[in-house]
Structure 1
Amino acid sequence: MKILVLWMCVVLLVACTTGQKEDLTASGLKRSHFQTEVSGKKTDLFVLKNKNGMEVCVTNFGGRIVSVLVPDKEGMMRDVVLGFDSIQDYLRFPSDLGATIGRYANRINQGRFVLDGTEYQLPQNNYGHCLHGGPRGFQYRVFDGLQKNDRELQLTYLAKDGEEGFPGNLNCKVTMTLTDDNAIHIQYEADTDKPTIINMTNHSYFNLDGDPSKNNSDYLLTVDADYYTPVDSTFMTTGELAAVDGTPMDFRTPAAIGSRMNLDFEQLRNGHGFDHNWVLNTEEDITRSCAILESPATGIILDVYTNEPGIQVYSGNFLDGTLTGKKGIVYNFRAAVCLETDKYPDTPNKSDWPSAILRPGEKYNTQCIYKFSVRK
């Protein structure tokens, strides 16, 4: 009898241990830590995998990329984005980490814009401006998630007329596809029942060392752009398209990010580092790489592709060590780089810039590809 009881205990222990292993993603996340309810809607963790062992974990809370596991030059798998271990941490520490941003990514001056003769007032949540759709933008909403297979996830969300001050019921769909060439293909689609504005992007914080205790100063950055949009001390675009030639903003050939940071340049002071939009030369051609980020330490390279006219490069200037992320790692100053493909900031108030207006009967359709490789 004692032997039977002992055997049953062993079986139960093995079963529990096996269950725990199955619950862990390759990057070390527990799905159960992402399964709860927020505002009456269920949240979850979705896992995408390809034949190379690359893994991308996404939660439908804010349409956030939580982890991206890719091989370095030695074949070691590294998690190259910042994020949290649970939904509770995302709720406890409001941030844009990995999020799908909308209805309008980046800033709108004083939170105001005029569309078809009507002025709209949005929340002013950043130096008097509306940033990333307001304090209750898409990054804090629960999307409906549908995972068709190991490679593709669909996230849908209805932004109601008047939500955060924006006009029109906006039906949004974000499709994330992991390909066998180690690329995350993100497609944004939307339609509306009233004229509105829309500008969606992904706000992943990339640390290509897979070690957020290190900063990004050694990363090599390339941006295919002859011009950028300068900002004032409140991070608002001035309306000018300024040439990068002869300035620290010139990344047409690879340069270490840290090599530019201490230069005496007004735009670096205004942005507290890099927090600017570059005007891409790629002419909305999704087949042309618009930006490249590389870690010399790990050999990991990130190529960015988009059919958008601009890319916002943010060097993590406001990471200050107050956030503790996955695996208990503190996110210190400039621990990552964001590469956000989108329209230029404050486009609704700049009639000569590429339009962000969406009207009934039209289809919003934009794409971003994050493709990973290694330099051995």
Structure 2
Amino acid sequence: MPRPTAHRTPFGTAPGNAEADLWTLDSGTGVRAEVLTYGGILHRLTVPDTHGESRQIVRSLSAMDEYAKDHPYFGALVGRYANRIAHGSFALDGTTHEIPVNDRGHALHGGPEGFHTRVWEATSREDGDAAFVDLRLHSPDGDMGFPGALDVRATYAVDASGTFSLDCTATTDRVTVVNLTQHAYFNLGDDDVLGHTLQVDADHYLPVDAEGIPEGDPAEVLGTPFDLTGPQVLRERLSLPHEQLASAGGFDHCWVLRDAAPGDGLRRAARLTAPDASRVMEVWTTEPGIQVYTGNLLDGTFTDGEGRVHDRHGAVCLETQHLPDSPNRAAFPTTVLRPGQTLHTRTEWRFPHLTVPR
């Protein structure tokens, strides 16, 4: 069996004159990931279909100067806090912290200069069965208003079975909050994702107000358009009448995943299938939630290097994460990280239609 490999090439000059690199992780069996040191961005993810035809399945931008613009987080590794913190404010051990607001009066994805705007340090390694690129970032105390100096490592990998994965770890020297996610926009093979089938392994979701902030406790999906406990065609789900869908223009909600089985903590979160079933992707994670965003605000402003226009509902994000606004919600799983603790999260993207062995 071919050995997975890692290879680096220059990608361009990022804001601040730092040089950005492109790391290619090749499984040797058809799956290939291309990761930027700028923003930890998943630039490309190429996956064969059941006929052996390869396709790039994440929406990307063409060049460094496009990624340097204010774009909707195409492929980015976002932090310190993925999703929203209401009014950019939270209290921690009696001290209130203020994060710059950048989304309808709330802090989104770590603020306007979050991790998606940084150049990460990178090293690679190969162990015979997998190839890895380790990205490291130091976030100083007070960065975007967050307390504590935070050291983050994000490890992307592909293995010979075709599994693509992301492991994140973080440590701090002062109590803080952390919530990291990968913000890829997926399309397994069509002009848009409305004909894709999606299943989410969750019995509850978080209703949100018109500004994307949770309205209260998780609600049951049963009897609502948010019931994705079985495979559902996205076009059919999004066409159902519901004030939550009307307000957001589609899905932009967090599902609360079922408890993980004992062992490695991984459980399946979602299964996405192309309209012709030629590609299937499963998302497995240790995180308690998954934000499903159906590209409601994509408007054709951005294109990729092949001239593909990123239009509304052109892709779907499946962001594994803790729940939005958790620092202000004592009932939600905690995102607090203290000195002496290590945050560790893992997400895997598996492609069960491939015939290579796991």
> What is the TM-score when the length of structure 1 is the normalising length?
0.88
Within 5 Å, give how 1:256-267 maps onto structure 2: 256-267=233-244
Matched, 1:181 2:161: yes
Residue pair 1:286, 1:305 contacting (<8 A) in 2 also: no
The CA deviation at 1:92 is 3.1
Cα deviation for residue 145 of structure 1 reads 1.0
Partner residue in 1 for 2:329: 350
| 1:73 positional shift | 1.8
SS in 2 for 1:92: coil
User: Counterpart amino acid of 1:311?
Assistant: I
SS in 2 for 1:89: helix
Q: Residues 334 and 155 of structure 1: is their aligned pair in 2 closer, same or farther, counting only changes over 3 Å?
A: same
Q: Distance in 2 between matches of 1:35 and 1:322?
A: 22
**CA contact under 8 A between 2:62 and 2:303: conserved in structure 1?**
no
Whole-angstrom CA distance in 1 between matches of 2:294 and 2:270: 14
Of 316, 319, 322, the residue aligned with 1:337 is 316
Q: Structure 1 residues 63 and 283 mapped into 2: Cα distance closer, same or farther (>3 Å)?
A: same
Deviation at 1:358, TM superposition (A): 0.3
1:134-180: CA deviation from partner (whole Å, max 9, x where unpaired): 11110011100111237100000001111111001000000011012
Specify the alignment match of 2:149 in structure 1: 169
How many Å separate the matches in 2 of 1:375 and 1:256?
Answer: 22
Which of 342, 345, 352 is matched with 1:373 structurally? 352
Give CA deviations for 1:271-326 in whole Å, capped at 9, x if unaligned.
22100000101437644312101102251111011111100000010111111112
**Paired amino acid for 2:37:** N
- In the alignment, the residues of structure 2 paired with residue 187 and residue 256 of structure 1 have an alpha-carbon distance, to the nearest angstrom, of 30
Alignment equivalent of 2:175, drawn from 195, 200, 205: 195
2:87 aligned counterpart, secondary structure: helix
Residue number in structure 2 paired with 1:18: none
Q: How big is each residue's C-alpha offset from its partner over 1:40-59, in whole Å with a ceiling of 9 and x where there is no partner? A: 43211000001212211000
2:275 aligns with 296
Match of 2:125, as an amino acid? K
Counterpart for residue 286 of structure 2: 307
**What is the one-letter code of the residue matched to 1:108?**
I
Q: Distance in 1 between matches of 2:37 and 2:199?
A: 31
- Is 1:316 aligned to residue 292 of structure 2? no
Matched residue SS, 1:290: strand
Q: CA RMSD in A?
A: 1.6
* Residue 93 of structure 1: how far off its partner (Å): 4.6
Cα distance in 2 for residues equivalent to 1:107 and 1:374 = 35
Number of the residue aligned with 1:110 = 87
User: In 1, Cα distance between the equivalents of 2:38 and 2:54?
Assistant: 26
Q: Distance in 2 between matches of 1:246 and 1:95?
A: 31
The answer (yes or no) to whether the contact 2:79–2:178 under 8 Å persists in 1 is yes
Aligned partner letter, 2:312: F
C-alpha contact (below 8 Å) 1:93/1:323 kept by paired residues: no
- Deviation, 1:85, is 2.2
User: How many Å separate the matches in 2 of 1:154 and 1:276?
Assistant: 30
- With over 3 angstroms needed to count, the CA separation of the structure-2 counterparts of 1:71 and 1:50, relative to structure 1, is same
C-alpha offsets along residues 319-373 of structure 1, whole Å, 9 cap, x if unaligned? 1111111212111111101000010000000001100000001001111111123
Q: Is the 8 A contact 1:176 1:184 kept in 2?
A: yes
Say whether the 8 Å CA contact 1:312–1:339 is kept in structure 2. Answer: yes
Which one has a larger percent helix, Structure 1 or Structure 2? 1
Q: What residue is the counterpart of 2:3 in the other structure?
A: none
Match of 1:13 in 2: none
Q: Separation in 2 of the partners of 1:123 and 1:361?
A: 28
SS at match of 1:270: helix
| Of 39, 43, 62, the match for 1:85 | 62
Which stretch of the first structure deviates more once superposed, 298-307 or 72-81?
Answer: 298-307
Q: Percentage identity across aligned positions?
A: 39
Q: Aligned-pair distance for 1:36?
A: 2.3
- Is 2:22 the counterpart of 1:42? no
Residues 301 and 374 of structure 1 are in contact (CA less than 8 Å); yes or no, is this contact kept in structure 2? Answer: yes
Structure 1 residues 192-271: aligned runs within 5 Å: 192-209=172-189, 211=190, 214-271=191-248
Question: Which moved further from structure 2: 149-158 or 302-311?
Answer: 149-158
Shift of 1:37: 4.4
Contact persistence 1:225–1:279 (CA under 8 A): yes
Provide the C-alpha distance between the structure 2 equivalents of 1:99 and 1:279, rounded to a whole number of angstroms. Answer: 22
3-state SS, counterpart of residue 44 of structure 1: strand
The runs of at least 4 consecutive aligned structure 1 residues that moved more than 3 Å come to: 284-287
Farther-moved stretch of structure 1 (106-115 vs 316-325): 316-325
Aligned to 2:5: none
Per-residue deviation at 1:239?
A: 2.0
Distance 1:327 1:341 in 2: 28
The answer to which of 40-49 and 334-343 deviates more is 40-49
Q: For residue 235 of structure 1, report the CA deviation from its aligned partner.
A: 1.0
Is the CA contact 1:38–1:142 (under 8 Å) kept in the aligned structure 2? no
Relative to 1, partners in 2 of residues 1:37 and 1:130: Cα closer, same or farther, differing over 3 Å? closer
1:94 and 1:267 map into 2 onto residues whose CA distance is 25
